[in-house]
Every structure is written in structure tokens, then in C-alpha cells.
Amino acid sequence: MSHAANIVISILFDGLAYAMFLFITSVGLSVTMGLMNFVNLAHGAFAMVGGYIVVSLTRSLGIDFVPALVISAVLVGIISIPFERFLYRRLYKATDLEQVLLTIGLAFMAIATFTYFYGPIPKSVPLPHWLEGDVNLGFRTFPSYRAFLIVVGAVLVTILWYAFERTNIGARIRAAVDNRRMAESVGINVDRLFTLTFAVGSGLAALGGGFAIQLFGLTPYFAVLYLVLFLIVVATGGLGSLKGTLLAALVIGIIDTGGKYMFPQAGNFFVYLVTVVVLLIKPAGFYGRE
């Protein structure tokens, strides 16, 4: 195979893995923001907490990486419920500014708490054998960890798509995103629906945080460092749209990977450029409602 084709495949593969990470972490944020129009800057903090739970489970309790991911996602989902019930709920009707301040305050507190207990140095986790090294797909080899992430992402996309488009709860969520008042007046309990999606979204964020440990190295600052990227995915995808979030994650993931490969100096420049261009043309994102 030619050198150029090899590079393109590498970029697409790494970009896809990155996109799956972005999708898993951001999808909950997109749906909750679509439902309640709530600007949640603490979403990255839930992902960070999820990552640290995985660290503790694998290193202190000796649980394997994959079950630890699942346990951490469930735990964070449960932990997020009281936050929604007692803090967020009071501010659904408040201004953007108050929501921004409350949630960024929570993110700062989370960063400080985890710095206190875990220190500021990046953590790593022991991986099972089958996730280390490469996997051979016949024509070439790929790193198995990223391949696993892509598989998990694809499975989650399918499950979420099915839940969103083919189940009763999914129909109710779509109805509430489209027109909250109308949905309430036909008897949908939007509050409870929101608690549910918030918990699931936070759990998925925790799963993303778990995957991030080996991708980027986990520090407490993860909570705000990647937050801007999650928000970019949500804003360019369109609030509350599964399709949009997936498309935005793919675009951002692949452009960022390609841009960094070809112009290592540029950092995240291309991501921000794409964001600005997309939002200026389609202010509500790819699939958002104007």
C-alpha cells in the first residue's frame, strides 16, 4: 500500500476513535441542553469523576478495566441525580449567565476536590492484554485500544439510535425537545424524563472519561480542558439532536486529528475555525432548530 494511503487510513482511524470519544461524552450534554436549554459547564466534571472512579477501581480494588468502566458509568449516573434534583432544577428558568456561573462553580469545586485526593499528576490504568498492542485486520494493523473504543462507540450509537427513534421513552424525549409545553400538556412528565436523561448522559460522560485515561492522560483539569470541545460538538451538532451530535463529533474528530498530523504547530486551531464557520452559517448547528 502506498505511503499516502496509509497516512489517510491512519488519520481516519484515529479521527474515528477520537470522534467516538467525543460522541460518547457529549451526547448526554446535547440531549439535556436540548430538553431544558440548560447550559451545563459541569458536564466535563462528571466525565473527570468517571475517569477517577475507573482509576480507583482498577488500581486499588484490582477490578479489570472493562467492568470498571461499566461500574463507573453506573455510579456517576446515580451520583448525578441529586445534583439535578437539588441544584440544577432550581435554575431551569434562570438566565444563561446564572447557569454558566453555577455549573462552572461546580466544575471548579470538583477539580479542587480531585486535586486534593489524587494530585495533579496524570494517572494511568492497567489494561488487559487484549487491549494492549495491535490488532491485525488483514491489510494492516491498528492499535487495539482505539479499535475497541470505535466498536464501543458504534454499539452505543446503535443502542441510542434505537432508544431514541424506536422506543416510547425516546419518542417522549423527542417530543419534549421539540415542544416542552405541548409535551407536558399531553401528559408527559418532562421533569422525570429529564432526570432520567441527565443520569444517562452523565453516565455516558463518565464512560468517555474512563476511555480518556489512556487517550490523553487524566488530570483533574480534564473537567474544563475538554469541556470546550464537548460544547463545540453540542453547539455545532444542534441541541438535542443525536444525528447532529454524531455528525459534529465525526467532523471535529477527523479534522482535529488530520490538522494535528499535517500541521502539528496548529494545535486546536482548525477545530475552532470549523466551529466559527459552522456557527456563522448555521447558528443552531447542523441539525438544530433555528
- Quick one: 149 or 218, whose CB is closer to other proteins? 218
SS (H, E, C) the chain: CCHHHHHHHHHHHHHHHHHHHHHHHHHHHHHHHHHHCCCCCCHHHHHHHHHHHHHHHHHCCCCCHHHHHHHHHHHHHHHHHHHHHHHHHHHCCCCHHHHHHHHHHHHHHHHHHHHHHHCCCCECCCCCHHHCCEEECCCCEEEHHHHHHHHHHHHHHHHHHHHHHHCHHHHHHHHHHHCHHHHHHCCCCHHHHHHHHHHHHHHHHHHHHHHHHHHHCECCCHHHHCHHHHHHHHHHHCCCCHHHHHHHHHHHHHHHHHHHHHCHHHCCHHHHHHHHHHHHHCCCCCCCCC
33 binds other proteins (CB under 8 A): yes
269 binds other proteins (CB under 8 A): yes
- Quick one: 102 or 246, whose CB is closer to other proteins? 102
Comparing CA positions, the residue from 107, 80, 74 lying closest to residue 220 is: 107
- Quick one: 83 or 164, whose CB is closer to other proteins? 83
Stretch that binds other proteins, among 1-9, 72-80, 100-108, 242-250 (CB under 8 A): 100-108
262 binds other proteins (CB under 8 A): no
Query: Quick one: which of 239, 246, 248, 249 contacts other proteins (CB under 8 A)?
Result: 239
Q: How far apart are CA 22 and CA 207, in angstroms?
A: 11
Site size for other proteins, by CB under 8 A? 46
10 binds other proteins (CB under 8 A): no
79 binds other proteins (CB under 8 A): no
- Quick one: 100 or 151, whose CB is closer to other proteins? 100
101 binds other proteins (CB under 8 A): yes
- Quick one: 78 or 277, whose CB is closer to other proteins? 277
263 binds other proteins (CB under 8 A): yes
Query: Quick one: which of 16, 111, 251, 252 contacts other proteins (CB under 8 A)?
Result: 111
Query: Quick one: which of 228, 243, 255, 286 contacts other proteins (CB under 8 A)?
Result: 228
255 binds other proteins (CB under 8 A): no
Binding site for other proteins (CB under 8 A): 33, 37, 39, 87, 90-91, 94, 96-98, 100-102, 104-113, 115-116, 224, 228, 231-232, 234-235, 239, 263, 265-269, 272-273, 275-276, 279-280, 283-284
